[in-house]
Amino acid sequence: MVWLAIFFLAPIVKLVSTSTQTQGVNIGEYVQSYRFANFLDAFTSAAPQFFRSFVYAGLATLFALIIAYPLAYAIAFKSGKWKNTLLVLVVAPFFTSFLLRTIAWEQILGEQGLVIKTLRLLHILGPTGHLTATPFAVVAGLTYNFLPFMTLPLYASLDRIDPRTLEASGDLYANGFTTFRKVTFPLSLPGVVAGTLLTFIPAAGDYVNAELLGNPRTRMIGNVIEARYLRIVDYPGAAALSFILMATILILVLVYIRKMGTDEVV
């Protein structure tokens, strides 16, 4: 409780306190005036970035789930003696800086990268087409960077499934698809919920991918908050946006967990 009070509750109280301040006499000086209109002003000015952040985070979460589920399934049921090696490979990107991994995507999707050359060779992308500084690049970066957060909970959930339940499904004349739909996927649902939360929450507040892989039209709410804190020096506006973001994510998480019926994951 002391730990939570110092490192969780106190920063939130400070954040809320800062969000209701107004400009003082000197530039960069703010005084407490309890101006709650700061929340409305901040949200109104950054509404497009809020919406864009949740869309990008939702797409990245969906793509990560599509990629991670077959991967986690293969590691849990098909990898045999290679299971530990594959798990190490899943977390291997964490051995490198988040920033460096994102910069690497600049090179992968850049003009001289293999992806661009292949797409142009297949006439999927025109001679003047590009992938960097686009929403595609931002979502791709988010998906890649948070993919392990999706894979590991899925693997943990799938690995706990008793193989005898799958055998029993076959004994009852269920084919592979029916077994997956009726047994495997429902039993792995806690991993799906945990993985989607662990991916969506940090992706919604991320600003590195949009900064390095996007353009001014792909800015996310994290970029706005970062700019207000470090460049504009609008601490109340930045604090208000941060609080609104946290509150919105918390509400979405609670609704999602209740909807999925997996309250135990929290």
Give percent of the chain with pLDDT exceeding 90. Answer: 56
| Tens-digit pLDDT profile for residues 199-221 | 999 999 999 999 999 998 999 99
Domain count, the chain: 1
Please state, in angstroms and rounded to a whole number, the distance separating the CA atoms of residues 156 and 137: 30
Mean pLDDT value of segment 38-67: 94
Please state, in angstroms and rounded to a whole number, the distance separating the CA atoms of residues 174 and 171: 7
Predicted confidence (pLDDT) at residue 265 exceeds the cutoff of 50: no
Domain residue limits at 246: 2-265
Q: Which long-range contacts (CB under 8 A, 24 or more apart) does 85-92 make?
A: 87/152, 87/155, 90/148, 90/151, 90/152, 90/155, 91/148, 91/152
CATH code at position 225: 1.10.3720.10
Give percent of the chain with pLDDT exceeding 70. Answer: 97
Q: How confident is the model at residue 261 (pLDDT cuts 50, 70, 90)?
A: low
Amino acid letter, residue 41: D
Mean pLDDT value of segment 59-85: 93
What rounded mean pLDDT belongs to the chain?
Answer: 89
Please state, in angstroms and rounded to a whole number, the distance separating the CA atoms of residues 209 and 220: 9
Cβ contact 8:17 at 8 Å: no
pLDDT at 17: 92
Mean pLDDT value of segment 12-39: 87
**Between these two residues, 174 and 147, which has the higher pLDDT value?**
147
pLDDT at 143: 95
pLDDT at 266: 42
- Point out which residues pair with 22 in neighbouring strands: 31
Cβ contact 30:22 at 8 Å: yes
Please state, in angstroms and rounded to a whole number, the distance separating the CA atoms of residues 2 and 215: 42
**Between these two residues, 98 and 111, which has the higher pLDDT value?**
98
Amino acid letter, residue 63: F
Structure tokens that stand for 179 in this block: 């077994």
